[in-house]
Amino acid sequence: MKIIALSLLAISTASLMSATHAESAFDPNGKTLTGDWGGKRTALAEQGIKFDANIAMDGSYLADGGYDAHQSPTFGTQFAAGTTLNLEQLAGWDGVTVRAMVTARQGQSTSLEGIQDPSAPQFANSQANWGRGNSGSRLSELYIEKNFKAQGVNVRIGRMGLGTEFNTMACDFQSNAFCAAQMGKWQGKLWYNTPVSQWGGRVKWQIQPELFTQVGVFEYNPENALERHGWNLDTQNADGINILAETVWSPKTAINNLAGSYRAGLLYNTADDAKNQYDVAYKAGTVGKDRSYGGWLSFEQQLTSTGEGRRGLHSFGNFTFHDQTTTQVDNSQQLGLKYIGLFDGHPNDILGFAVNRVHVNERYRAPKAAVLNQSAEYNMELNYSYYPTPWLMLRPLVQYVVHPGATNKVDDAFVVGFGSKVIF
């Protein structure tokens, strides 16, 4: 399977390497750093072969507070390369595509090395691209998709991250309290976001142009998340399944006649091995349970518009609810604002501010009350995403964490950061 995925990527990579000196490379008005490869990229796309790649970096420095302030800055990076093959164009298979993506993460975490007390880990992480630790290459996506156009049904089967299919959200912040599917943060021992993938499938039904519902079934295999198992494709240590359902309404004219997106979903997990699914009021793994559940409500809504594309004020929010028997976090709330295109001439720049509250399950906290003596952790971030070109993003930011790890034995943390992303 590893050979198959890398072969798909090689189709596009070979084209990229053969045209590194294309005149359109580094075009400040282009969509990608490598440009159109002398026209070959467009030609391949017209044949049904698309290539994408990017590298992102999250830099973080604990300027004050936390558990051990004034250490050196830390940097977490992720490289991703993917290929999408349109088999309708390539082989005449109506409505069929194949997607493959490989990722690699390296770096350190300021949350682990400076903000948190080892006996009270921070629930969020200052650097979203550090999540799931360092790893070599990892197969993050390999699936086949079939679109039944007449019925409004879309089916995907293969290797996927749950957060790319359900509870999705934009990632315009560095803290993972505001980046990607929030279910993967607060019920993360069961729900694996990208870059981790698992076997599964999902069926989406487009009921109306602005309304769809979807259901997914995915294996639950804790080995998939281990650093050394980025290419683990067997199901030998799978322990039950994740069942997900979600309904999404995306009105084009909601508040102030502007577009929005509203989601509601549920998770049910059937793992029954005590080391994976247990009562959090007791020592980990001692009192097993055979199920867990969770749910979410989320929205993204544009509030004002300058009349030019997406420019204007946007709001977003995520609210999650979790099983109080099996989950350390029983609920979380997240609210934020983004102003896109604050300055003329920079329509893609984003000024963002967001606040997150992570409420700790009282049943989990009670045996550890001497350390976990606060009911919640709070995360805040203010940033500015600057796009000097469409393919380059530079993001200065500040973060503030109140009660990291839900304890007052650690000072509130003030973090200065800098993120970047390059699209190839």
Q: Distance between CA atoms of 217 and 203, rounded to whole angstroms?
A: 9
Mean pLDDT, residues 205-229: 95
Summary mean pLDDT of the chain: 93
Tokens 């992102």 correspond to 56
For the chain, the structural domain boundaries read: 145-414
Question: Mean pLDDT lowest for which of 128-137, 181-190, 198-207?
Answer: 128-137
Q: Distance between CA atoms of 401 and 379, rounded to whole angstroms?
A: 5
Buried b (16+ CB within 10 A) or exposed e, 310-328: bbbbbebbbbbbbbbbbbb
* Structure tokens given for 185: 């943060």
User: Contact at 8 Å (CB) between 122 and 404?
Assistant: yes
Amino acid at site 326: T
Of 135-139, 160-164, 229-233, where does the model show the most confidence?
A: 160-164
CATH number corresponding to 145-414? 2.40.160.180
Q: Distance between CA atoms of 372 and 404, rounded to whole angstroms?
A: 10
Q: What is the pLDDT of residues 40-65, one digit of tens each?
A: 999 999 999 999 999 999 999 999 99
User: Contact at 8 Å (CB) between 248 and 261?
Assistant: yes
11: pLDDT strictly greater than 70: no
Q: Distance between CA atoms of 313 and 300, rounded to whole angstroms?
A: 11
